[in-house]
Every structure is written in structure tokens, then in C-alpha cells.
Amino acid sequence: MEFPIRVVVYLRKDYYIMTMLKEKVSASFFAPYNKNDEPYIRIATGDFEELDSEVGRDDALAAYLHSFAHELTHYQQWIHDKPFLEDEAEETARLIVEQYAETREHP
């Protein structure tokens, strides 16, 4: 995966992120119209304590890694002028997290 344009990642302590369309989401990718402007990813992490108690620390962290990988897929779609396809983002995120999990005992 290449990163020809810098993408900043913000980890927010909020429970959700509000998109420009006023949707509450757990993560988002901002894709500027002009590729001279910087894109960014935001991931809400305010539910960590709840996730940790419900599914355990490793799975809670894996959920954030999945969100990050999902938004990175949208970044790649944007870089290559492709449509933002949710199915592709979900499948790619799943594969990235699975590949990462094979290299670590814990996230």
C-alpha cells in the first residue's frame, strides 16, 4: 500500500464522529475534492472501556484496527479515483486485520 499523499489519522475520545452530512459514525475518511488538500481519517475511541469489558482488550483494539483499515481502503479508492465501495472497504479491512493478527500475539 502506497501513500503518495499524506493522510493524518485522528483518534478521538468521543463515542462517535459526526460527518459533514450529520451522520454519527465510528470512523470517517475526509476526501477533499482537490488532491492538493490534505485528507484525514478520524476514529472514535470513546467506547474503549465498554468494548474492553464486553469483548476484551484484544478484540476492542482489533475493532479500532478494523476501522482504521476500512478508512485506509477509502483513502486508496480516493487516490486512484475509484468510487467509495463499502463492500470493498469491509473486505479489505478484514484481510488487513487478519494478516496483521498472524504477525502478533496481541494487537
pLDDT tens-digit map of 9-68: 999 999 999 998 999 999 999 999 999 999 999 999 999 999 999 999 999 999 999 999
Per-residue pLDDT averaged across 78-86, rounded? 97
Instruction: Check pLDDT > 90 for residue 96.
Output: yes
Q: Domain map of the chain by residue range?
A: 8-101
Residue 104: predicted pLDDT: 84
CB contact at 8 A, 74 and 40: no
Phi, psi dihedral angles at 43 (to 5 degrees): -130, 125
Instruction: Check pLDDT > 80 for residue 106.
Output: no
Cα 56 to Cα 14, 44, 50, 88, distances in angstroms: 20, 18, 9, 27
Residue 1: predicted pLDDT: 83
